[in-house]
Homo-oligomer: A and B are copies of this chain.
Amino acid sequence: MKQVSEKVVSRLIIYRKYLKELLADGQKSIFSHKISAYTGASAAQVRRDLMNVGYNGTPVKGYNIKDLMTSISEFLEKENTIEVAIVGFGNLGKSIVDYCNGRNSRLSISAAFDTDPNKINRVIHGCHCYANTEMETIIKENKVEVAILAVPREDAQKVADKLVACGIKGILNYSPTRLQVPANIYVENRDMLMALEKVAYFANNVHGGKNK
C-alpha cells in the first residue's frame, strides 16, 4: 500500500470524523470544497488526500459520504481489529478507555495495566486490568500492537522500554516526558499542558480565529 505522510493521515482522520457527523445528520453526498471549509485544507488538497485512499468523487454529485468513509477506513485500518493496551489505569487511563472504546469498530483497548492491587484482576470501565508483571504474556497472547502510556513521568521510560521489548510498534504517550525508543517505533506525544499553553497564548493575542 502507498506510503503517505503523517500530515495526510492526520487529515484523513479529520475528514472521516466530519463525514461521520454528516452521515449522522442524514446527509448523503459532499463536495471537496465543503470538506475543505471544515478542515482548513484547500479543496485541491482534500482531493489529493482522498486520491490516496483510491476513491474519487464526481464533479456533479461530489463524494458519496458512506462509500468515502468506508474507503478511508479501509485505508487507515486493517481488516482485523487492532488491539490496544493502556498502561496506567488512573483517572486519565479510565477516561481514555471511556472515550475511545466503541467509537471505532477496528480499534479496541482490551487490556489495562497498573501496579495498584485494588485494580489488578478487575474489569474496570469494561477493560480487564492486569498487573504490570503480566505485560509480556498478555501483550503477546492478545497480539497487542499499540500502547497508550498514562503513567507518571518517572515511570514512563521504564514502561516504554518494556513495551518495546514486548513487541509494541506504536505508543500514544500522555506522560509528560520524551521517550527514548528505537527508530522503528512510532510515538505520538500528547502533553495536555502544552495544549493548554497554546490556547492560553492565542486567547490573549489577537488572531484570525481557528477551529479545526
Interface residues of A (CB under 8 A from B): 1, 3, 6, 9-10, 13-14, 17-18, 21, 38, 76-78, 82, 84, 90-92, 94-96, 98-100, 103-104, 107, 145-146, 148, 168-172, 176-179, 181-212
Give chain A's interface secondary structure class: mixed
Q: Give the distance to chain B from A5, nearest Cβ to Cβ, in Å.
A: 9
Q: How far is the CA of A9 from the CA of B77 in the complex (A)?
A: 32
**Which residues from chain B contact A207 at a C-beta distance below 8 Å?**
3, 186
Q: Which of B21, B187, B201 contacts A9 (CB 8 A)?
A: B201
Are A183 and B209 interface neighbours, CB within 8 A?
yes
Q: Which of B92, B208, B211 contacts A92 (CB 8 A)?
A: B92
What 8 A-B pairs have minimum CB-CB distances, sorted nearest first? A170-B203, A92-B95, A183-B209, A91-B95, A169-B203, A186-B202, A187-B211, A170-B199
